[in-house]
Structure 1
């Protein structure tokens, strides 16, 4: 887009995360997903800020040198909060929302999607109904509408859909089926390590 890009990544408290991953260590996987997502995103943008009220998540992020800020727990509320923090630091940047459950994310694919954006835009998930990334226009509002049917909601609000050769950016994980699909692309190191006792 020709502007600096900063990302907000919302992370729930781990005891509330990924309730549909039945039979797996949900808190450990949620943390691993977030760390793998952030690690992959860092080289593609100027900065990543995580909004979380979970101290364990914040401690892990500090070890990576990633800033975290305590904020509201609701997804859209936390994104609006993070957007406000980043917009106050730079009035002309692109602020993006990146979901924290992209354990197969490849840096190059995120960078390609960011380069393809020409204004406020979003990347739909692999089913085409959800959203994995939402980007503001340079200096613009984020206006997140995450939740059921978020892709349609973001399109209706004027955001342009970005669809390209970046499958890892579209593979968010809510279910065991999603996790299997992401694994076929190649999981990040932390997620793979959590799953190793299960798969071994």
Structure 2
């Protein structure tokens, strides 16, 4: 089984990313469960805006799209900015919109029988909004969202330290991240044995 983790931090490599640090908890648990995991830091790719899978020469999205189709599990990870997903996460969602017009050999949307979850960090409130926003979009594309397929960390009201700078609340975020990974794998395995059929015409 394969998973892809798309980190939508605003920080380019090799800068340390709080979102990457929390996503690493989920990745570790996925690997413990024999899942092969690949990561993408979307900001490094300079993905152009659009809602199509391939915008022509120089577009890095088709390669990411291929990784999405190779994986049964997607983890979309975003920081919180002003209570919303990062602009990079929004760009990824916009490009994933192209999947709505793609189907498999049996007429199912290509995201069917794949699962997705969300990781969110930020030293401000808004994580639940970001989780709902991203999960809703992924579900619209056809991904199955298991129960509690998310984890987050935030500092709470007001400015303060980030995930990598504070121990506050980290144990809860880590435990929740491990549960998230377990739920993603369980539902992905169930879908492999009992796939969702093509929608009625």
Greater Rg by CA: 2
TM over 0.5: no
**Scaled by the length of structure 1, what TM-score is found?**
0.39
